[in-house]
Structure 1
Amino acid sequence: MRIRVFDGILWGVTFLLVVTVFLMPDTVPLHWDENWQIDGYGSRYMFLILAFIPMAIYYGMTLTKHIDPKRMNLEKRKKTYRLFQYGLTVFFLILAAFFEYSAFNPQQDGEQFVLLLVSVLLIGMGNYLPKIPQNYFFGVKTPWTLASEYVWKKTHKISGYCFILIGFINGISALVHFSYTYLVLMISIIGMTVFIYVYSYFLFRKCSQNIDE
């Protein structure tokens, strides 16, 4: 019943997002720079893509759960998986609604809202990343996490801490209106990605050496 209610809400909100697109001017702002100044315009129909992204994520995650070779792992943690599915869908619904609002109010400064929304997403994901079971579609997938369940668990645990840390740093930067918040966010995410990839490799290598000995 809960799933059907969410499906109904998703379809209803998506319908409203699509209808709103046809109420926009033919040409609308599509891109803002790091100072939240409009630096790109285009057709209103580009917003149709944004409107359907939440639905694509929601039903895409439903599909991948059923075709994943390790789907039994996901079944054991289906509440966690469903939480990510709902959370990501709601995140992109809010984002789509916000950018459609910005198309009608192009001078509205939305930088802080977007950054705080991203911070909430990162912190939320960080809290639940360690609970994601080994699978082929969702999570931190490196050759070494997929090869070893132990490496998967340890990598996701450290990844969770990284997500939360970056989320807090980004949120604080947004609240104090730090001029280079976007730059800090991008560097943090790239640095975290490299660190996690290297960490999983060396952890797998250490485990392999212990087994050989």
Structure 2
Amino acid sequence: MIEMKINKTKWILLGFVALSFILTMIVYPILPDKMPVHWNYHGEIDSYAGKFQGAFMIPIMLLIFYPLFIYLPNIDPRRKNYKKFEGAYDTIIIAIFAFLTAMHVIVLSASLGYKIDMTAYMTIGLSLLFIILGNVLTRIRPNFFVGIKNPWTLSDDDVWKKTHRLGGWLFVLVGILGLFLLLINSKFAAMSEIGGIIAASLIVTIYSYILYKSKMSD
């Protein structure tokens, strides 16, 4: 049953890789010589790339990520723990591939002349990604590649568990906040979400340090 689940995840990831390449090859002949690859928080294009780079950057990235994510657990010194959160791990990598594929579709659409509110789309994408990650974060067991990794969480399993519990709640909160603020103003939502991600990262880092110091002093 485990092998079937792993194979299913592999096929889903390969599906995203294939989709990104197929869509690119379909529209490649009509893409402009310069493609937008970066937008500022106002939603304005502020960086361009050549046609080939702009068209194939994300598909090639997905192609590289595929073996990396699939075989990374095999070289982790704590690889036995992956069996305890394989469902969460599958969810994380599928969510990342879905996010990148969606961003690729948006870039292609913008390059073809469609009016794209990148600020709004990025806020929606990141919000949904963080809600998904937050929901599975509490199920991740100690390892060296996935999760909130710092000297204190990696040094103590209890600190890891409590830090990921708080991190899960904060990630979901940041995602929900981004979607809510999007109803008010997309620029404000984008800036608030970036601030929320930074704040959440700082909070869990400080929290893990306090937990570890408290435990060591007992």
Normalised by the length of structure 1, the TM-score is 0.90
Counterparts of residues 39-188 of structure 1 (less than 5 Å): 39-47=46-54, 48-105=56-113, 107-188=115-196
**Is the contact between residue 134 and residue 170 of structure 2 (CA under 8 Å) also seen in structure 1?**
yes
Which residue in the other structure is 1:203 paired with? 211
Which residue in the other structure is 1:15 paired with? 21
Distance 2:66 2:22 in 1: 17
Distance 1:77 1:93 in 2: 24
Any gaps of 5 or more consecutive residues in structure 1? none
**1:6 Cα offset (Å):** 1.9
Distance 1:189 1:163 in 2: 7
**1:8 Cα offset (Å):** 4.5
**1:179 Cα offset (Å):** 3.6
Which residue in the other structure is 1:192 paired with? 200
**Is the contact between residue 58 and residue 104 of structure 2 (CA under 8 Å) also seen in structure 1?**
yes
**1:42 Cα offset (Å):** 2.6
Tell me which amino acid in the other structure corresponds to 2:15. Answer: I
**1:158 Cα offset (Å):** 0.2
**1:157 Cα offset (Å):** 0.3
Describe the shift of the 1:42–1:15 C-alpha distance in structure 2 as closer, same or farther (beyond 3 A): closer
Return 167-176 or 99-108, whichever deviates more.
Answer: 99-108
Q: What is the root-mean-square deviation of aligned Cα atoms in Å?
A: 1.9
Secondary structure at the aligned position of 1:46 is classed as: helix
**1:14 Cα offset (Å):** 3.0
Q: Deviations over 1:150-203 (max 9, x none)?
A: 000000000001101111111111122254222212221111111111110110
Distance 1:178 1:15 in 2: 30
Tell me which amino acid in the other structure corresponds to 1:76. Answer: K
**Is the contact between residue 36 and residue 107 of structure 2 (CA under 8 Å) also seen in structure 1?**
no
**1:29 Cα offset (Å):** 2.1
Describe the shift of the 1:62–1:106 C-alpha distance in structure 2 as closer, same or farther (beyond 3 A): same
Describe the shift of the 1:108–1:11 C-alpha distance in structure 2 as closer, same or farther (beyond 3 A): closer
Return 55-64 or 113-122, whichever deviates more.
Answer: 55-64
Secondary structure at the aligned position of 2:194 is classed as: helix
Any gaps of 5 or more consecutive residues in structure 2? 1-6
What is the aligned length? 210
Taking only the aligned residue pairs, the percentage that are identical comes to: 25
Tell me which amino acid in the other structure corresponds to 1:36. Answer: G
**Is the contact between residue 9 and residue 94 of structure 2 (CA under 8 Å) also seen in structure 1?**
no
Tell me which amino acid in the other structure corresponds to 2:172. Answer: I
Secondary structure at the aligned position of 1:45 is classed as: helix
Describe the shift of the 1:42–1:182 C-alpha distance in structure 2 as closer, same or farther (beyond 3 A): same
**1:46 Cα offset (Å):** 2.4
